[in-house]
Amino acid sequence: MKQSKRVSALYEKRRKQVHHLLHTMSRAVINTAIAHGVITIVFGDLTGIREAKNFGVKTNQRFHKWPFRKVTELIRYKAALVGIAVVSVTEEYTSQTCSVCKEMPSKVNARKANRKHRGLYVCKDCGTVMNADINGAINISKKYLVTFCERSQDRPVVDLGRPWMYRFNGSRFVA
């Protein structure tokens, strides 16, 4: 079935808006990294995140539109232009393991029940209550540090202490 010119124009407008949004967001990430003297950005490896997932028709459509790879590619190339390294680390068990009382995220340390719902992590062992995304990010940084410390022990490493929420005001992201 052929689309009308109007429908095609609307799809093209949406594509351009998403393209602009992704470029603006990735530039904001790089500018923040530069401002804080970051030399390495660590990403959770999202390869295969969509496989074997079924959240229902509408949610599947939204979930499968998320441009994970595009975001990481944009940040990688913009980081390379300013000399910032970008590393991917597996996310296995990072959101199910307590970053406070457990040494490393692993299948042995993981408890699905600790992840109460989106945004809330409560550890049954030590009682820690925190944002689930921050818990996962700290665990991803722990996984990276294992390999980093084997290579170099003379550089300070800092991970995100609190979540930063950026809002898009139509032309740029603001904190």
pLDDT of residue 75: 93
Mean pLDDT lowest for which of 13-27, 59-73, 109-123? 59-73
Distance between CA 19 and CA 128 in Å, rounded? 39
Largest CA distance in the chain: 62
Mean pLDDT lowest for which of 12-16, 38-42, 167-171? 167-171
Q: Where are the domains of the chain?
A: 7-90, 92-155
pLDDT of residue 163: 57
Supply 167's token pair: 């809002």
The percentage of residues in the chain with a pLDDT greater than 90, rounded to a whole number, is 11
Q: How confident is the model at residue 116 (pLDDT cuts 50, 70, 90)?
A: confident
How far, rounded to the nearest angstrom, does the alpha carbon of residue 105 sit from its chain's CA centroid?
17
The mean pLDDT of 135-144, rounded to a whole number, is 84
DSSP state of 72: H
The mean pLDDT of 128-152, rounded to a whole number, is 78
The percentage of residues in the chain with a pLDDT greater than 70, rounded to a whole number, is 78
The mean pLDDT of 89-109, rounded to a whole number, is 80
Closest of 120, 81, 126, 82 to residue 102, by C-alpha? 126
Q: Work out the mean pLDDT of the chain and round it to a whole number.
A: 79
Distance between CA 168 and CA 81 in Å, rounded? 24
Mean pLDDT lowest for which of 86-90, 128-132, 134-138, 162-166? 162-166
Q: How many CB atoms lie under 10 A from the CB of residue 135?
A: 26
Instruction: Measure the CA angle with vertex 67, ends 148 and 114; round to 5°.
Output: 60
Distance between CA 101 and CA 128 in Å, rounded? 9
